[in-house]
Amino acid sequence: MPAFKGDEMRALLFIALAVSAAFGQPQSELQKLKVSDVQLSIVKIVVAGIGPAGYTSVGTGFFVSDHEIASASHVYLEAAKAMVDSGAGTIAALRLLPDGKRVAFALQFCAADFVHDTVLLAFDPEIPKKAGLEVKPLKYDETKLEIGDDVAFFGYFAGDEEPILSRTILAGYTTAVPGTNSTPEQMILGLPANPGQSGSPVFSLLTGDVVGILTAFVPVTLVPGSLPTHSGLSRSVEVVHLKRLIESEEVRCACQTRN
């Protein structure tokens, strides 16, 4: 991922801090996101069959239908690489139920938009159903957010058994440069993404709907020639790219065939 130059990042950090100071923390009376309504719709994506714990975590995903999970496409690619490197394993979704029981079920590649880092993974809906996991697809809203809008992302940090909720604001947007290989426009969030949280749903706190998919932290090179460091910000692709993938007739047929 290309890093921002020092001047560009300093300007972006200044804007993010200014917006944060102006808008403050999300206001509880406006918050429509209910954690209890969405928590069980979020799953840890793992490669089962490898690693000391019997699986290796690679990211986060969330239900978008009764047989599909959405995530960041680089999460799927990392899982596939881990399987190739180890010569074993199965890509799976893992979820801890309220009674402490773990539910795991295999995932199959369905479709992806690699340019916008979005993937759909299919599964047999009977498996989580028999295990007692109710599949609740999350609602999404493609309405473009304004800078300063309150948002939250909800995903698995490192080896945690439960997803972590992070509340922040939309700090800005990146800009794709026409005619170049620069990253397409993405949302910039005022909190960093951490290992395991890639693929997390990003929610609007005003509507409670998914508005994006968390993709990565934003690196910054402060000194020319030095290694990039953490900026304290993160990137998210807008949910319109997921919506386009879900509503594609070609994708519909492919996912139904695999399921």
Regarding whether 232 and 169 lie in a shared domain, the answer is yes
Regarding whether 30 and 145 lie in a shared domain, the answer is yes
Domain assignment present for residue 124? The answer is: yes
Neighbours of 141 (CB within 10 A): 17
Instruction: Please write the tens of the pLDDT for every residue from 8-17.
Output: 444 444 444 4
Regarding whether 144 and 29 lie in a shared domain, the answer is yes
Q: Phi/psi at 21 (nearest 5 deg)?
A: -70, -35
pLDDT on residue 54: 83
Domain assignment present for residue 172? The answer is: yes
Domain assignment present for residue 1? The answer is: no
Instruction: Please write the tens of the pLDDT for every residue from 17-48.
Output: 444 444 444 444 446 778 888 888 999 999 99
Domain assignment present for residue 69? The answer is: yes
Regarding whether 143 and 25 lie in a shared domain, the answer is yes
Regarding whether 148 and 117 lie in a shared domain, the answer is no
Range of the domain at 179: 6-34+138-240
pLDDT on residue 233: 84
CB 120 within 8 A of CB 68: yes
pLDDT on residue 255: 63
Regarding whether 123 and 145 lie in a shared domain, the answer is no
Regarding whether 49 and 83 lie in a shared domain, the answer is yes
Regarding whether 82 and 148 lie in a shared domain, the answer is no
Pick from 150, 136, 152, 143: which is nearest to 42 by CA? 136
Q: Phi/psi at 141 (nearest 5 deg)?
A: -135, 120
> For residue 58, what is the domain's CATH number?
2.40.10.10
Cα–Cα distance measured from residue 189 to residue 161, given in angstroms and rounded to the nearest whole number: 24
Pick from 233, 221, 235: which is nearest to 4 by CA? 221
Domain assignment present for residue 21? The answer is: yes
Would you call 9 helix, strand, or coil by DSSP? helix
Q: Which two tokens stand for residue 189?
A: 């969030």
The DSSP-derived string for 76-105 is HHHHHHHHHHHT--EEEEEEE-TTS-EEEE
CB 128 within 8 A of CB 105: yes
Regarding whether 79 and 194 lie in a shared domain, the answer is no
| Domain count for the chain | 2
Cα–Cα distance measured from residue 187 to residue 218, given in angstroms and rounded to the nearest whole number: 11
Q: Could you say which residues of the chain have pLDDT below 70?
A: 1-31, 176-184, 218-223, 226-231, 249-259
Regarding whether 150 and 234 lie in a shared domain, the answer is yes
Cα–Cα distance measured from residue 56 to residue 25, given in angstroms and rounded to the nearest whole number: 35
